Structure 1
Amino acid sequence: MDNIAGQKSALTWAVHISVAVLVVLWLFPTVGLFVSSFRTTDQISTGGWWKALFPAEQNLTIRAAGPDAQAEVDGLYVIEGQLFDAGKDATISAWGISSRAIDAFAPGDAAELRRGGTITVDEVGNYRLENTEAFSGNRGQRVFVTATTPPEFTFSNYNRVLFGGDASENMGRAFISTLTVTIPATIIPILIAAFAAYALAWMDFPGRALLIAIVVGLLVVPLQLALIPLLKLHLGIGIGKGYLGVWLAHTGFGLPLAIYLLRNYMVGLPRDIIENARVDGATDFQIFTKIILPLSFPALASFAIFQFLWTWNDLLVAKVFLIDATGQTTVMTNRIVEMLGTRGGNWEILATAGFVSMAVPLLVFFAMQKYLVRGLLAGSVK
């Protein structure tokens, strides 16, 4: 009597709670990466992404204008300016001119400069340097400020990552290269696997059971075992340094699962439909294209999601089979790895690059996720 109408069992509630926890665990880093991709370096250094909507206290190092900006006023040489960029509303609580005492002065205080003269900084960042003698040197005075800044978001990170001139940051070319690898590497195995799955499901020929057993066995073979032999083969026939080699590699590694998944789905389709079509004189090719393919769309979409995600996020196969010394065919995963080495301190750039890499798989998954469960359950029930 535990599962009477209108009541839910404890197991149902446990499942719902578990799913909710998993969703939160998945969303937490994804939202964090998205928010961080719009923050500046200074904002990221002040705290986690969950503080992005609140004012933050920062320790900043800013250099005042150089001697070229000085002017003579009433017998004094004066340099005036603003420490913060235009439109940046910040409030200074303390400042200093030495890294050993960054909070030595309060806003409005005057500090003695080491080379003579004084500097004054007010609460909103206006500064004034005065000296009885002309200022010399090539650079302006360095000022350390402790300031409270409002939330700040910018699109410059995306502009820098997608269209930046620095090759180590430019993800635009890597984005195109990744699409060039992923789309054919998703379509080719689907086409081949669909024909093979139909043959294994509905055509009688000697050795069919053995072929099915081989396909199942290939599912458990680690792809790492085939990397070096396959690369030697590709180099031997001249396709080891371009897109063709990586397309064929992804096709070979993805075919066992594709054939297994599609065959299980096709064998569960109503036999009467196929037999009636054969009675009406339809050939196997006509049955395949006019009946089987339309009915197998959930399974095709399910495998397409998996293959697209695996290929898009792949690093190992691209590293091995897409040999490129110029960087013209570098995929996004490899570009991010390179950025980790050259831009390890630029968290805003890394966050933006990471989210750009995630955006397309997220769109593909949410656009086709309704077919995912139907495809995965193919053949499991009758």
Structure 2
Amino acid sequence: MSSIAGTKSGLTWAVQISVVLLVALWLFPTVGLFVSSFRTADQISSSGWWASMLPSERNETLRTANPDTQVQEDGLWVIRGNLFEADRQAEISAWGITSQDIAAYTPGETADMGEDGRLTVEANGDYRLVNETEFSGRRGGRVFVTASSPPEFTLDNYREMLFDPSNREGMTKAFFNTLTVVIPATIIPIVIAAFAAYALAWMRFPGRALLIAAVVALLVVPLQLALIPLLKLHLAVGIGKGYLGVWLAHTGFGLPLAIYLLRNYMVGLPRDIIENAKVDGATDFQIFVKIIIPLSFPALASFAIFQFLWTWNDLLVAMVFLIDATGETTVMTKQIVELLGTRGGNWEILATAAFVSIAVPLAVFFALQRYLVRGLLAGSVK
């Protein structure tokens, strides 16, 4: 039956299901990070992000107002107010006056606390504390409640991380520092590799085959192997503590892959177009600029995605070649590592910082992903 036209084989179904599962596994943490970045610390600690659209119920310890707010009514001393903050909406399902029995009363019931008076709590948090004698002390009494809060989202996390000038751990400066590193580190190797790939694909000169073999060999050289020698060279020439050093490092590490991808793509372009251009008197530079570059845009975009994502998410190269004790050149990956050390318990801040760091790579990937497969498959089929 699998050979009948219009039916799908078991292998086809298996492939499609596998793709769906891989997409779901990739989206699951990304969506979770996005949702968590709009939640408060209490919400994150009390429920998972998948429950963010549902009312959340948790036990809380609240306090009544201070005794200095009491008033006298009909011979009784009264303290009234609302247990929740002014901008919060919640509904109490049970409450108590001791930690041993936090659900002793339902909303509307009155608890007799002896010499401390009688307390009545409503479902919306309104309370009335009454006593025949004047209340004393500096703090209000504790009330244990089980409250259900509606779904709530906030932009305060983004305001604190991006726009709060008093926040020394903000991501705004690190964001622009990362752009300062990434944009030149993506453009420079593309420009150099495009010229080199054209020469290796269409120009005849002695040693071309050896150069192609050397490019392929450099693809397997570990990044860590070259860090220390390259750093010593940068320090010797005076570029080891700034952006220039990290630009050149990323360029050097990205060139082998760039040349390999672009050369494979260019060598598969129709030879007749180039030969006709040479017959018409076009120079190699004119052919390269007016013919090769426009036709090679899928390969250029494919490498741009790889290089941008790699340099944006890089931590090792930035820590080695951006030596700065003042934090003026701190990139986002390093900033997040510092946040883990200083604010490891603030999950809402960490989630916001992490999503800010992946938002730009996601936008770049989705903008150029249609060229990714075309560029990667360049030269594989004749």
Matched, 1:308 2:302: no
Shift of 1:123: 2.3
SS of 2:200's equivalent? Answer: helix
- Per-residue CA shift, 1:82-103, capped at 9, x if unaligned? 1213353312133345556544
4+ runs of 1 displaced by more than 6 Å?
none
Shift of 1:260: 0.6
Shift of 1:14: 1.8
Letter in 2 for 1:266: M
After TM superposition, the structure 1 stretch with the greater mean CA deviation from structure 2, 310-319 or 95-104, is 95-104
| Counterpart for residue 267 of structure 1 | 267
| Counterpart for residue 59 of structure 1 | 59
**What do you get for the CA RMSD once the two structures are aligned?**
2.4
Asked whether the 8 Å contact 1:268–1:379 carries over to 2, the reply is: yes
| Counterpart for residue 135 of structure 1 | 136
Shift of 1:120: 4.2
Matched, 1:336 2:341: no
SS of 2:6's equivalent? Answer: coil
Which ranges of structure 2 fall in alignment gaps of 5 or more residues? Answer: none
Asked whether the 8 Å contact 1:160–1:169 carries over to 2, the reply is: no
Letter in 1 for 2:45: S
For residues 112 and 322 of structure 2, what CA distance do their matches in structure 1 show?
59
Q: TM-score, normalised by structure 1?
A: 0.91
Asked whether the 8 Å contact 2:339–2:350 carries over to 1, the reply is: yes
Q: How does 1:209-248 map to 2 (within 5 A)?
A: 209-248=209-248
Letter in 1 for 2:241: K
Letter in 2 for 1:328: E
Shift of 1:247: 1.3
Asked whether the 8 Å contact 2:110–2:118 carries over to 1, the reply is: no
Shift of 1:60: 2.2
| Counterpart for residue 88 of structure 1 | 88
Asked whether the 8 Å contact 1:264–1:378 carries over to 2, the reply is: yes
Shift of 1:105: 4.7
Which ranges of structure 1 fall in alignment gaps of 5 or more residues? Answer: none
After TM superposition, the structure 1 stretch with the greater mean CA deviation from structure 2, 156-165 or 250-259, is 156-165
SS of 2:35's equivalent? Answer: helix
In the superposition, relative to structure 1, how do residues 84 and 248 fare at CA in structure 2: closer, same or farther (>3 Å)? Answer: same
Q: How does 1:41-56 map to 2 (within 5 A)?
A: 41-56=41-56
SS of 1:94's equivalent? Answer: strand
Shift of 1:141: 4.0
For residues 234 and 66 of structure 1, what CA distance do their matches in structure 2 show?
65
- Per-residue CA shift, 1:27-84, capped at 9, x if unaligned? 2222222222222222222221221111121122334433554445556554432121
SS of 1:80's equivalent? Answer: strand
SS of 2:54's equivalent? Answer: coil
For residues 295 and 267 of structure 1, what CA distance do their matches in structure 2 show?
12
In the superposition, relative to structure 1, how do residues 41 and 200 fare at CA in structure 2: closer, same or farther (>3 Å)? Answer: same
- Aligned positions, number: 380
Shift of 1:188: 0.8
Shift of 1:19: 0.9
Letter in 2 for 1:220: V
- Per-residue CA shift, 1:286-344, capped at 9, x if unaligned? 11111111110000000001111111111111122122222232222222222222222
SS of 1:281's equivalent? Answer: coil
| Counterpart for residue 198 of structure 1 | 198
After TM superposition, the structure 1 stretch with the greater mean CA deviation from structure 2, 250-259 or 161-170, is 161-170
- Per-residue CA shift, 1:121-173, capped at 9, x if unaligned? 33221234456345333x54444322111111122222222213453541122
Letter in 1 for 2:32: G
| Counterpart for residue 321 of structure 2 | 321
Identity among equivalent pairs (%): 75
Q: How does 1:5-16 map to 2 (within 5 A)?
A: 5-16=5-16
After TM superposition, the structure 1 stretch with the greater mean CA deviation from structure 2, 299-308 or 208-217, is 208-217
| Counterpart for residue 111 of structure 2 | 110
| Counterpart for residue 173 of structure 1 | 173
| Counterpart for residue 292 of structure 2 | 292
In the superposition, relative to structure 1, how do residues 240 and 99 fare at CA in structure 2: closer, same or farther (>3 Å)? Answer: farther
For residues 118 and 146 of structure 2, what CA distance do their matches in structure 1 show?
20
Asked whether the 8 Å contact 1:92–1:147 carries over to 2, the reply is: yes
Letter in 2 for 1:364: V
For residues 119 and 59 of structure 1, what CA distance do their matches in structure 2 show?
19
For residues 59 and 168 of structure 1, what CA distance do their matches in structure 2 show?
34
In the superposition, relative to structure 1, how do residues 68 and 318 fare at CA in structure 2: closer, same or farther (>3 Å)? Answer: farther
Asked whether the 8 Å contact 2:161–2:167 carries over to 1, the reply is: no
In the superposition, relative to structure 1, how do residues 224 and 266 fare at CA in structure 2: closer, same or farther (>3 Å)? Answer: same
Q: TM-score, normalised by structure 2?
A: 0.91
Shift of 1:261: 0.5
